[in-house]
Amino acid sequence: MIELLLVIMTIVGMIVFYRKAEEPEPYLLPKIVGLVLLGEFRLEIGSVILPIGFIIFLLFMRTLKTNAKAKRGAAFFGLLVFCLSLLLPFLQTTYYEWPRNIAVQDTNFYSGSLVDELKNIQKELDDGQFNGKITGFDMTISSEGGFEDFDMQMIDGYGPEEVHYDVSLSEDDEEFIVKRKRFEQEAYVVSNAGTLTEAEFFLAQLDLVEKGMLEEDTDSYTFHSSGQREGYAVENTEKYIIDTAGKHKVENDDLPFEAILVEVCDGDCDVYEHYLFDVLERYHDVTEETVLGVARETSSDVHEWLNAHRGFQIAHETNGEYFLKRDGETIEVSEREYVEALKENPRVEIERDDSIWHVTVEHTYGEAPHTMEFTLNVETKEVIEVRMR
């Protein structure tokens, strides 16, 4: 937007100063155009930007004779555009990154919803349904569920530009303080230990925690998570799976598996537990039923594609209304269409060639690509090749 504005200004300036010429002169228009562009020309040395074009103009300004006023005006106008090209992005970035105070919808963790809080933050920031992923999460609540501390980091987008979000709680526990920062290049490196989780999906898992799941004779509880889905095989701590059916104790014989880990402890960490969300079993045998799970364990590409085509990434239900998602578009559907879509997807086809299986997985919903093909060595459980289309 800023670039387009500056281009329009440059063209208008060229026309204005051409018309301000007082005497006829051969090739006047190209000269005016050249002087405006010369005034805009810059030299970048590291982080220092110099108006080298305008400096050159100053060295030869005395040689101007015919239409000197119009020509000087054109060069100075180019310098103005140069200055605006630096100032406007700075002002835009400053406004964008200025901390925002957003009211907490419900200051009680048990009666409220972290997903609703996230959606309200998106609405207030006018960021829409940004594709944020959790990079860090810490929350402290009182024994009755009131927020005492909250700190959540998210990252949105990879490539030439990405945005880092930091959401913290104000001193009076009534507002979220949201800070955003843009980066031109990818600045956050994820370790190979796990895969980042979509913010909305992560918070939906925490919304499953109910008051009865925590000890009542304590002042506060702290929740800590890296936000990553990772392999889990910790034996020397109390651990529980949390899902829509409640809280289930995990025995060491049930390990290992993959899950989103949230560490939970009371004020003094006398009570220390691991809450495990969205658990994926590690598979030992390759069958038609387990082939996707086996491939997910050994290939990050398969893992990421399957994560992008499940849960909140493809569908959600809100207040009795049903929605399916495809290529960035959210479509409201009937309950019957919603159920049928989830039953029919994903579609898996397998071609066997002795110990080599060629697997094609298709999913109508979620983001493109909608088809993944991979080759799996059944004996070694190694994914040999992955193709998306």
Same domain for 191 and 251?
yes
Nearest to 18 by CA among 4, 28, 6, 9: 28
Same domain for 264 and 131?
yes
Domain boundary among 231, 257, 281: 281
The contacts of residue 270 (CB under 8 Å, 6+ apart) are none
Query: How many folded domains does the chain comprise?
Result: 3
Same domain for 199 and 129?
yes
Same domain for 237 and 218?
yes
Structure confidence at residue 127 (pLDDT): 63
- The verdict on residue 260 lying in a domain is yes
Region of residue 162 (phi > 0: left; psi between -120 and 50: alpha; otherwise: beta) = beta
Same domain for 74 and 133?
no
The contacts of residue 113 (CB under 8 Å, 6+ apart) are 106, 207
Nearest to 42 by CA among 78, 91, 89: 78
Structure confidence at residue 342 (pLDDT): 81
pTM of the predicted protein model = 0.64
Mean pLDDT by 10 residues, the chain (389 residues): 90 93 90 93 90 90 84 93 92 90 95 94 76 88 94 78 90 94 60 66 93 83 90 88 91 86 85 88 76 82 84 76 87 87 87 93 92 92 89
Helix axes 2-19, 28-40, angle to 10 degrees: 140
**What is the DSSP annotation of 322-348?**
EEEEETTEEEEE-HHHHHHHHHH-SEE
How many angstroms from the chain centroid is the CA of residue 49?
A: 31
Structure confidence at residue 187 (pLDDT): 43
- The verdict on residue 28 lying in a domain is yes
Same domain for 217 and 91?
no
Same domain for 240 and 375?
no
Same domain for 252 and 227?
yes
Structural domain of 230 = 100-281
Same domain for 68 and 202?
no
Question: Which amino acid is it at 350?
Answer: I
Domain boundary among 97, 132, 148: 97
Q: Tokens for 378?
A: 């059944």
- The verdict on residue 286 lying in a domain is no
Helix axes 68-97, 28-40, angle to 10 degrees: 40
Do the beta carbons of residue 292 and residue 275 sit within 8 Å?
Answer: no
Same domain for 232 and 122?
yes
Alpha-carbon span 309 to 365, nearest angstrom: 7
Q: What is the DSSP letter of 171?
A: T
Alpha-carbon span 371 to 352, nearest angstrom: 19
Structure confidence at residue 160 (pLDDT): 61
- The verdict on residue 130 lying in a domain is yes
Same domain for 147 and 231?
yes
**What is the DSSP annotation of 207-241?**
TT--GGGS-SSSSEEEEEE--EEEEE---SSEEEE
Same domain for 227 and 269?
yes
Domain boundary among 67, 97, 127: 97
Helix (H) or strand (E) holding 102: strand 100-103
- The verdict on residue 166 lying in a domain is yes
